[in-house]
Amino acid sequence: MKRLHRMRATQWLRNMSSQVEFTTSHLVQPLFVVDRLSKSEPIANLRGAQRNTLSDALRVIEADLEQGVRHFLLFAIPHEKSDGGFRRDGETAIISRIKDQFGSALHLWVDTCLCSSTSHGHCGLFDSNGSLDLETTLSELSLAALKFAQAGADGISPSDMMDGRVKAIRQTLDENGFSMVPIMSYSTKFSSQFYGPFRDAAQSAPQFGDRKTYQIDVRNRSDAIASSIRCKDEGADLLMVKPGLTSLDLIGPIASQTGLPVGAYQVSGEYAGLELLAERGALDFELALLETWYVYRRAGATFIITYGARRAREIGVHLQ
């Protein structure tokens, strides 16, 4: 029942009349905001996206709202990296400033992970033997989610792939009076080459090893679906496949097996790939972008997280 209430809170499913058509309300714009950054910086290989100072981010959000964007996925990037005992002051200041200024005009999902906070860039914490310390990782993630909700986050979006993290976060939110805050889980997340430009944006490239031990191999269909089902069972309200491109065939099966809305994350490498082809005159960027969005919708995606959400209106996607 609580899950149903949370779904109403997202107001996301009101415009589902067409399988393929969509409006700006189906698009989610990622934002990268860096605590104590002195000047906004372009992101290498991801034209149009920036690592913003908070004051620039507020201007960007205002312009995005004018373009009809309503849903944002915030990557709040802390100034200081650490390997435990995260204070989260910088991130929570970013969230509360955005919500203070724009209130319910926007729906602010907050990416929740440890990789932009840790000095090693991994999504979890390690014990003194160098093994993943799951218990501490889950408690840090839950605490982060709680602080973000207290700061005004409209939704929590856990992007690590640690076992049990949705359950731990849900429980912490519920116990602290945030049962209405929905969880949009990165529920099927593949290990992929297509994340390249993003890692630059979030300064989260691992300093050693890689994330293959906790991200899914693209050849593994059954694990990929099971991962989303597990997130539902743990209490996720919305699910997501990432990268969208390498998960197209899984969106429908995950939606039908869980009964939850499933979104596609059009990741940085997919988006930047279109830009590079357009620069070479090989395609029309806007038409190609729209084509990919139609295909995500055709595959069954309820929502699309894309760096191009703010360009939707200019390329002909209508307002709700």
When asked if residue 73 is in the footprint of Zn ion (CB under 5 A), the reply is no
Minimum distance from residue 116 beta carbon to Zn ion (Å): 7
Site string for Zn ion, 141-180 (x = CB under 5 A): -------------------x--------------------
Cβ proximity to Zn ion, 123 vs 240, nearer residue: 123
Amino acid at 50: Q
Minimum distance from residue 141 beta carbon to Zn ion (Å): 10
Binding region for Zn ion (CB under 5 A) out of 68-76, 108-116, 135-143, 259-267:
108-116
When asked if residue 304 is in the footprint of Zn ion (CB under 5 A), the reply is no
Query: Exposed, middle or buried, 134 (CB in 10 Å: 0-12/13-18/19+)?
Result: middle
Question: Of 147, 167, 189, 232, which one is the catalytic site residue?
Answer: 189
Please tell me whether residue 318 adopts helix, strand or coil conformation: strand
Residue written as token pair 């218990």: 135
Strand runs labelled E in 190-298: 238-242, 262-265
Minimum distance from residue 78 beta carbon to Zn ion (Å): 13
When asked if residue 123 is in the footprint of Zn ion (CB under 5 A), the reply is yes
Cβ proximity to Zn ion, 123 vs 236, nearer residue: 123
Binding region for Zn ion (CB under 5 A) out of 95-103, 112-120, 247-255, 304-312:
112-120
Residues 178/146, Cβ–Cβ less than 8 Å: yes
Looking at the DSSP assignment, which residues form a beta bridge with residue 109?
73, 155
When asked if residue 115 is in the footprint of Zn ion (CB under 5 A), the reply is yes
Vertex 125 angle, CA 120 and 129, to 5° = 95
Listed in sequence order, the residues at least 6 apart from 65 whose beta carbon sits closer than 8 Å to its beta carbon are 102, 105, 106
Minimum distance from residue 162 beta carbon to Zn ion (Å): 9
Residues 101/64, Cβ–Cβ less than 8 Å: no
* Among the listed residues 113, 184, 231, 241, the single contact to Zn ion using CB under 5 A: 113
Residue among 189, 217, 193 nearest 273 (CA): 193
Cβ proximity to Zn ion, 115 vs 262, nearer residue: 115
Vertex 320 angle, CA 307 and 62, to 5° = 50
When asked if residue 77 is in the footprint of Zn ion (CB under 5 A), the reply is no
CB count within 10 Å of CB 291 equals 12
Cβ proximity to Zn ion, 73 vs 123, nearer residue: 123
Reply yes or no on whether 81 is catalytic: no
Minimum distance from residue 123 beta carbon to Zn ion (Å): 3
Residue 218 DSSP symbol: T
Reply yes or no on whether 242 is catalytic: yes
Q: Residue numbers of the site for Zn ion (CB under 5 A)?
A: 113, 115, 123, 160
Could you give the residue numbers annotated as active site?
A: 189, 242
